[in-house]
Chain A
Amino acid sequence: MKQKGESKLLKYLDERIRLRSLMSFLLDEPIPGGARWAYVFGSMVLFTLILQFLTGIMLAFYYGGTPDHAWDSVNYIDHLSFGGMGVGRLIRGLHYWGASMMVILVGVHLLQVFLWGAYKKPREIMWLVGVVLLALTMTAAFTGYLLPWDERAYWGTIVGTNMIGLVPIVGPILKSAIRGGVGLGALTLSHFFTIHTMVLPSMFILFVVFHLVIFRRIGPAGPYKGDPLALEARKEFFYPRQVLMDAMGMLAIFLVIAGLSLLRPPGLESVANPSNSSYSPTPAWYFDWIFQLLKMIRPEILGVVGLPALIGIVLVLLPFVDKRPERSPFRRPVAVLVTMVVLGAMMTLSVQAERGFKKLVSLEPRSVARGKLVFRQSGCIGCHTVNGQGGHIGPDLSEEGLVGHSEHWLVVQFVQSAAHFPHSPMPSFSYLKPDQLHDLAQYVSSLGRTGWPDPTK
């Protein structure tokens, strides 16, 4: 420690709260074998968790957790701007993409600990606490999904809670307890909001503290190979080299999250509509593989209950069953092979699931705006209702963008409706130019997905 140049404040605090020894306890943590880039993942997970806390608190500032306010308040957040900067959408984007990144990083962290054999004696309890944190992360992802109360949220949660209902004996009562009744409603939303913003954060804090306390008590596992004496000789403090590496890792993940939030802000579909029978719900991408697997496993109960139970049992029992002290992945071929197979299967299933989903037309905002004009000028509103206005001869198009028709299908529909519906009374709009048909298809695809009124004006 440098003696010169220390500020008076530092001296003052040191005399009163023993700051220097506290800092030394926090920073002078010995790392066997020295600092490494491989050790940054735990810190990155912690960083995304803190980012989720911060942005989550910010979202709660403007969120109304009842079905008659939730969607409007999220739409309000999306339109909040300060000095021309869309801060509301940015904060929501950070929370949205932060969740995805946290799931990925938790997965990478778990995988690394597994491959490096770092869960072995004496780190079994730390591993178990980590498994709890994994469960908390997935629960947070599941409960946060409902909160915007749009179509995707509503129908995704219908399916998710129905799965819970399949659990034998306790399932039905568990499902009703979580939903707060038979169907999804005000109580479901307030239950999910409370779990997401009160129960889970407090449990996160508790278990992260457990995780870190155990980590500091027992020390880092260090590299899986190397002579203990040599590692001892290359021992390094946590500060400054590992701290810098961790900070770099955090900056990298922050840049990724911020970039995604700016380039691909999260959408908001039309408000949850329990009477919409045409909506096909899709899970968040990290549940894709479970979604796909459930299609294959019969009876359902085996997949719904068996799969998570199997994952849980394997993760919990792992350090107690695999007691060999060997840590190197190169000398644990079975473990590595099983990991590869499981990872490969998860990826294949996810890709299959994504392929199975109806692809919604990707929107160009300018084209959508031009299409809106075409829609008005061509008199579509005479027969079709959009957001409560228009005629009733044709179907209501308020959520047409969520049905998943391709642009080609829509253009054929405009020009020759009878090709899809033989007795359709819809006139042909063949006089529209190809550009106009494209714009019109874009506008119709945007219905139920974008273009919500700005409540801040």
Chain B
Amino acid sequence: MSEEVVLRMGVPVLNEDGHEVGTLEKLVFSETERKITELVVRDLASLKRIMISQVRSIFPHSITLARHGTLETLPVFDPTEFEEVPTWFFPPGYQIEIGSLVTLKPADIREMGEDAACSRREFMARTTAVVAGLIGISLVVPIGGYVLAAAKTKISDHWVPLSVSINQLPMDSPVSHTFRAVSVSGWMRVPVERTVWLIRHSSPEDPMSLPADEKLGLDSELEKQFSTPLLTVLSPICPHLGCSPQWIDDRKRFICPCHHSIYELNGNRVSGPAPRPMDSLPVKVGKDGDISILYEQFAIGIPKKVRLA
């Protein structure tokens, strides 16, 4: 197209006799032919479609048709048959002046075989999604494993020999025993001090020689296997919220200073908010009275005794 055509929305559309029959409302652009094929003109009744071949002249101020009479006989414009496109979609040579932002192209691709046209676009969209998914999954899986790798570090059962003999312990009275241990933290081995309660029992018949959590059946196989009526080892961590219960000799009770959970000598909860008895730990007593324990930590705040990794 050599000369520019100006299509100004809303300009009057005249018939061959010079009478105004309507105003320019929209343009119909054929995507396959890459040109404007029809005008949409608003007359008194509705929107009408006029083939571009029936247009005699187009000026910025008016459009003249090559036909007489009104537009009554022309086909009515049905917006559902068309799709909207932006103005730059029109081929060069047409100057579309924005009076109406609405320009339309016919769904001619649909007539030619909508399935073919749409499935191509759809195909590209789906392929993109598959490619993105591939990259995403192959990143998310190792990253997830990487994040969980440290959390899933195996629990190593490490027996700690205590520097105390059972014969040195007082009968039926808890002793707070501190020992050195190594805490593994990532690549670091950090030396730490830990404390446990050691309770030597005078008689295996004494009901206090059976830890309350064992009696309630909370213990794991490991804890059941390494348990002795001679000695109870209690974790210093209150199963309520992790404070440290203290032995009050006058009352013969463990009392947690934080929320006043009160326990008996065998860890049995007498009162207070704690959900379970104090946790007993696996213990081995040698022939000559030497003690070794397995220091475990458990989830706090729940009725079950769940070992932490």
- Chain A residues close to B by CB (< 8 Å): 28, 30, 51, 54, 58, 61-62, 64, 69, 72-73, 75-76, 80-83, 85, 87-88, 90-91, 229, 232-233, 235, 239-241, 243-244, 247-248, 250-251, 254, 258, 455-456
B132 touches A (CB below 8 Å): yes
Contact of A73 among B127, B143, B152, B186 (CB under 8 A): B186
Assess whether A244 is in contact with B143, with CB atoms less than 8 Å apart.
no
In the complex, which of the residues A64, A233, A247 has the most CB atoms of chain B within 10 Å of its own CB atom?
A: A247
> Chain B: interface secondary structure?
helix
Q: Which residues of A have CB within 8 Å of B143?
A: 54, 58, 87, 91
Query: Nearest chain-A residue to B143 (Cβ)?
Result: A58
Mask: chain B, 112-155; 1 = CB below 8 Å from A; 0 = not: 00000000010011011001101100110011011111101100
Q: List 19 A-B contacts (CB under 8 A).
A: A28-B86, A30-B88, A54-B139, A54-B143, A58-B143, A64-B187, A69-B187, A73-B187, A80-B149, A85-B142, A87-B145, A90-B146, A91-B142, A233-B92, A244-B124, A244-B127, A250-B135, A251-B135, A456-B153
Q: How many chain B residues touch A (Cβ–Cβ < 8 Å)?
A: 29
A241 to B122, CA, bound (A): 11
Given A91-B142, A258-B138, check contact A248 B149 (CB 8 Å): no
Residues of A within 8 A of B187 (CB): 64, 69, 72-73, 75-76, 455
Please encode chain B, from 10 to 36, with 1 for each CB lying within 8 Å of some chain A CB and 0 for all others. Answer: 000000000000000000000000100
Q: Do B121 and A240 have beta carbons less than 8 Å apart? A: yes
B170 within 8 A of A: no
7 closest residue pairs by CB, A with B: A82-B145, A76-B187, A240-B124, A247-B131, A87-B146, A87-B145, A80-B149
Say yes or no for B289: interface residue by CB 8 A criterion: no
Tell me if B188 is interfacial: C-beta within 8 Å of chain A: yes
What are the residues of chain A within 8 A of B92 when measuring CB–CB? 229, 232-233
- Shortest C-beta distance, B46 to chain A (Å), equals 23
Taking a contact as CB atoms under 8 Å apart, the answer to whether A69 and B142 are in contact is: no
Distance in angstroms between the alpha carbons of A95 and B72 in the assembled complex: 71
Interface residues of chain A: helix, strand, loop or mixed (majority) = helix
Complex: A9 Cα to B206 Cα, angstroms:
67
Q: Which of A51, A240, A254 contacts B125 (CB 8 A)?
A: A240
Alpha-carbon distance A69/B124, docked complex (angstroms): 49
In the bound assembly, the distance between CA atoms of A51 and B135 in angstroms comes to: 10
Across the two chains, which residue of chain A brings its CB closest to B124? A240
> Which residues from A are CB-within-8-Å of B138?
254, 258
Q: How far is the CB of B41 from chain A (nearest CB, A)?
A: 26
In contact, B131 and A81 (Cβ under 8 angstroms): no
* Pick from B86, B128, B149: contact of A81, CB under 8 Å: B149
A243 vs B121: C-alpha distance when bound (angstroms):
11
* Chain B positions 53 through 83: 1 when the CB is less than 8 Å from some CB of chain A, otherwise 0: 0000000000000000000000000000000
Within 8 Å by CB of A91, from B91, B124, B146, B153, lies B146
User: Which residues of the other chain, B, contact A91 by a CB distance below 8 angstroms?
Assistant: 142-143, 146
Q: Are B145 and A69 in contact (CB under 8 A)?
A: no
> Quick check: A82 and B146 within 8 Å, CB to CB?
yes
Residues of B within 8 A of A244 (CB): 124, 127-128, 131
User: In the complex the two chains form, what is the Cα distance from A28 to B87 in whole Å?
Assistant: 13
CB distance from B128 to the nearest CB of A (A): 5
Residues of A within 8 A of B145 (CB): 82-83, 85, 87
